[in-house]
A and B are shown apart, each in its own frame.
Chain A
Amino acid sequence: MSYSVEIKQLDLAFGAVKVLQNLDLNINEGEFLVLLGSSGCGKSTLLNCIAGLLEVTDGQIHIKGKNVTWAEPSERGIGMVFQSYALYPQMTVKGNLSFGLKNAKLPKDEIEARVARAADILQIEPLLNRKPGALSGGQRQRVAIGRALVRDVDVFLFDEPLSNLDAKLRVDLRVELKRLHNQLQNTMIYVTHDQVEAMTLADRIAVMKGGAIMQLGTPDEIYNQPRNLYVADFIGSPSMNFLEGHLESGNFKVDDMVMPMTGYDFAAPQTADRPAVIGIRPEHVVTGELVKNAPLQFNVVVDLVEPMGSDTLVYAQLGQHIFRIRMDGQATVKAGETVAIGVDPSRASLFDKQTEDRL
């Protein structure tokens, strides 16, 4: 299988500040790859390197099998959509869409045809003669996507395209983007720090931290088998419960509790005893009738309840630790009550306390 974008041993430094170091990343043809990470981890920097807007310090970038490390942004076969839309304010929507095509000296009727097609796909035909100032945020971002669309490129780059929009519009456009990807089947690289966007849109997610990729995998892998503590903590809302303890001959001991890890899929067949951290997602804790069937059962005292409509987040006391539990939205629990909970070790994650890697 040929790769659409290959990043090889990429280094990028701003003066003495090394933002990306020896980064390798291969992106498949037609793949929707999401770069996910907290603010300042280098997502935009990586995207700008791919686009050719930043000169790399070392390494190579290949697009469609061609080494484009020294190529101009416009020669790389990429289209880019920015967080702030970055529409040319003095041009009409049509002018915005056709600017790149005019620069490429395309024939007039070709330009017309491409603009019309993009406008049709994004349903912005009625806006073509307006200036960006007379558009709503959602419309502006649609035009910005259109500007990438008309260029008829192999790779789309998105830098947090939805984060300036209000919550409802963000969801709508997210669905539209997904539909657009299904329709066009282009390679898309999408930067976000919103994990819901990442989980819903991505074929694969690259979780980044400090300029390095922590884990590259499908949303399912990232969610169920986080490779290290950082990824486990970053993904999921409310975030995972972590309990520090000891792994001793297949049992996880925390304080005076013993949790046999039967059914847990260890990364290495023989895992030596060591200090470890167990991670349990709040939504993987069962209550009520289901507790009977759970391999591990505890009684916890409810500390605080946050009803959210669709579900209820319960903060409970487990030994000396606060433990988050996600319950049904209609659950009737009150602070002070004792609740029986069940945990399945096969759905938990174990991490080495020193290296923070998955066991």
Chain B
Amino acid sequence: MPDTALTGPRGPKPKKRFSRNNIFLYGTLIVVSMYYLLPLYVMVVTSLKGMPEIRLGNVFGPPLEVTFQPWVKAWSEACTGLDCTGLSKGFWNSVQILIPSVVLSIAIASVNGYALSHWKFKGSEVFFTILILGAFIPYQTMLYPIVIMLREIGLMGDLGGLVLVHTVFGMPILTLLFRNYFASIPEELFKAARVDGAGFWRIYFQVMLPMALPIFVVAIILQVTGIWNDFLFGVIYTKPATYPMTVQLNNIVNSVQGIKEYNVNMAATLLTGLVPLVIYFASGKLFVRGIAAGAVKG
């Protein structure tokens, strides 16, 4: 039985549902999400309409007659020049570029970051500084020298060449990311592992890696979206047979011959954006946790 003698405020403070703050907060959120979601909505509905319906000009209206034909066409029949195989080929090219680039760049950068934070060697700080400076060099100045280099080693136009380029360009930022994360792991933990007789790789795989999962998720998201969305390197260092999906999308959407099939273009764009979208949805929570992760408690 609670003591009723107490007067005045007691227990949790009651919250007003429609306070001015709340209205302002939710109002802003709704407006901002409309701003971002409306174009997406238009794209989705347009991609589900037939061309006759599009010509009626009702951009915001839902499709009167839902058709998946534009999606099928975008995937397997759309033409870029004389080649009418749709986006599918670009998709598989992109996958073949994406997987090795992501795996390689993260594998190398995580070992870099680990070595630079826990196995300092003479000149390791200088090495790190030079690496970070690499992040500030504009890509444009590197484009042509890389063409020459790739030609010299015979990888120009090859998927392998593009993988190499992505791996190298991902290195500064990823190394920074991993180094800072590993540096936040207490030095004593590392010392304890050394007393326990673990060497460079054993400490990396058995002590550091299990603790570094959040930062790996962050790195994967950064790399997957970055590499999948890349257009510049893709268009320069590949040839039509090895074009990644983004380049092929551009070629489909911007093709000058024939009529503009808006529904196919919309479907093709949505298809291309699907991979990063899926990654975001699947790992959004982990991403935030990784970004926010501070020191790891032992």
Could you list which residues of chain A lie within 8 angstroms of chain B, going by C-beta atoms?
A: 48, 51, 53, 72-74, 78-80, 82-91, 99-100, 103-104, 132-133, 144, 147, 151
Contact = CB atoms under 8 A, between A and B. Distances in A.
Given A90-B211, A103-B202, A74 B194 contact: yes
Contacts of B188: 82-84, 86
Contact of A80 (B191, B198, B202, B207): B191
Given A83-B188, A99-B206, A133-B297, A88 B193 contact: yes
B39 interface: no
A89 B196 contact: no
B197 A84 contact: no
Nearest to B190: A86
B250 to A, nearest CB: 45
Contact of B298 (A73, A78, A88, A147): A88
B210 A90 contact: yes
A88 B204 CA distance: 12
Interface string B56-94: 000000000000000000000000000000000000000
Instruction: Give the most central of B189, B193, B195, B206: most A CB within 10 Å.
Output: B195
Given A53-B195, A83-B188, A86-B189, 8 more contacts: A73-B195, A74-B196, A74-B197, A87-B192, A87-B298, A89-B211, A103-B197, A151-B196
B186 interface: yes
Given A99-B206, A133-B297, A82 B197 contact: no
B207 A88 contact: yes
Instruction: Give the most central of B188, B193, B211: most A CB within 10 Å.
Output: B188
B196 A103 contact: yes
Instruction: Give the most central of A48, A51, A88: most B CB within 10 Å.
Output: A88
B296 interface: yes
B186 A89 contact: no
Interface residues of B, number: 19
Instruction: Give the most central of B193, B196, B211: most A CB within 10 Å.
Output: B196
A194 B243 CA distance: 68
B161 to A, nearest CB: 38
Contacts of A83: 188
Contacts of B197: 72-74, 100, 103-104
B198 A51 contact: no
Contacts of B198: 74, 99-100, 103
6 contacts: A74-B195, A88-B189, A89-B211, A89-B296, A100-B197, A100-B198
Contact of A84 (B186, B193, B195, B211): B186
Given A84-B186, A86-B186, A88-B207, A100 B195 contact: yes
A73 B198 CA distance: 10
Interface string B97-121: 0000000000000000000000000
Interface in B165-215: 186, 188-189, 191-198, 202, 206-207, 210-211
B87 to A, nearest CB: 42
A88 B190 CA distance: 9
Nearest to A83: B188
Contact of B194 (A53, A90, A151): A53
Contacts of B202: 103
Given A74-B197, A90-B210, A104-B197, A132 B192 contact: no
A51 B298 contact: no
A80 B196 CA distance: 9
Contact of A86 (B192, B206, B210, B211): B192
Contacts of A103: 196-198, 202
Contacts of B207: 88, 90
A90 B193 CA distance: 13
A353 B206 CA distance: 57
A127 to B, nearest CB: 15
A87 B186 CA distance: 10
Nearest to A105: B197
Nearest to B186: A84
B194 A147 contact: no
Interface string B240-258: 0000000000000000000
Contacts of A51: 191, 195
B294 to A, nearest CB: 14
Contacts of A78: 195
A49 to B, nearest CB: 12
Given A78-B195, A80-B192, A100-B197, A85 B298 contact: yes
B211 A80 contact: no
Contacts of A144: 192
Nearest to B296: A89
A86 B298 contact: yes
Nearest to A48: B191
A57 to B, nearest CB: 15
B23 to A, nearest CB: 42
Going nearest first, the 9 A-B pairs with the smallest beta carbon separation are A74-B197, A100-B196, A90-B210, A103-B197, A86-B188, A86-B192, A82-B188, A86-B189, A73-B195
Interface string B287-298: 000000000111
Contacts of B194: 53, 72-74
Contacts of A53: 191, 194-195
B106 to A, nearest CB: 19
A200 to B, nearest CB: 25
Contacts of A151: 196
Contacts of B297: 89, 133
B195 to A, nearest CB: 5
